[in-house]
Structure 1
Amino acid sequence: MNTTNGGMELAPAVHPTYEVIHLEQTRHVCPMCEDYAARHASKPVAVLSCEGACLRGEVARQAANLLCHALAPDRTARICLGGAFTKDTGQRDLVRNAPRVIALEGCFLNCSSRMMRGVIGDLEPEVIIADRLYDFDRRLFGIDEMPRVEIEAHARTVAEKVAKRL
């Protein structure tokens, strides 16, 4: 058991167990999302991100946005995790068809990559755990526990480190 991330990180399961969810399907399709997916289909890297409401998730989310929209917009497509997970449309196709998928996780729970493997079973994303790329008080949880400018600085640090790996 490792608690260096501020939580309990257990050894990986030899034989993972699964939860079964019942996700209501929708007939709705967002045309802007589909247009975005079509425009970004040729980009070599799809970037998933933690969308969690905690401090670590917020840093990962902001880092993914910086990476895709400022630091490497010609090489990366920012994925809408909700759209990719809940509908088999353009966002999921971006993940399914990308030569490289990066999952920028907020912490060791790896939510975005686990979610997407639930709908794309053979997905093998490159998992980057953002909270290991910057120094902070690991006892903090909420985004209200750190000044906004500090969150933004950590997000920039993470985005710049990931951009160097592209």
Structure 2
Amino acid sequence: MDWETHNEWAQKMGISEEAAQYVNRIIDDIGELPDDYVSAVKDRARGIQQDRGAKKGNSALHMVIADSTMDHDSSRQKTTDADMAAEIEHGHLKQKGEEYVAAWYLHHHLDYLSEERNSGKSLGELLEEHKEKYPNTYSDTVATFLRENKGAIENELSL
């Protein structure tokens, strides 16, 4: 899903364009990550490296963390490095405020719905599937918002 559509849905949910754009950059844009996010990732990687690093037999852990934050939509996956990416992204966005966290969840929900729109499943089925497959990026609040806007989202995605 393109950023313009993400921003439109964020606005419908009461999320500022600033927060939506920031989240878009973190999730999608490899080349232009916000400086404060890059700094937060490095700090978190150092902390994890100290806690679970070479002395614990995980000498390359810092590379996994760095790589996991650079993959498109990586935090929606269930693998260990993506779980770390989700944890880092979510933790950083919590510090920025609830609006940023809501934008993060919304972005992942919209991407999932967009990617699965040709599956023949209903909005409700897709939301439940998202919850089961990717619980780290699922939000009951966002799912409720999407259900409340069922007609518009189904029209947007041709569900």
Whether the TM-score (by the shorter chain) exceeds 0.5 is: no
Q: Which is helix-richer, 1 or 2?
A: 2
TM-score w.r.t. the length of structure 1 is 0.25
Indicate the structure whose relative CO is greater, using CA pairs within 8 Å and at least 6 residues apart: 1
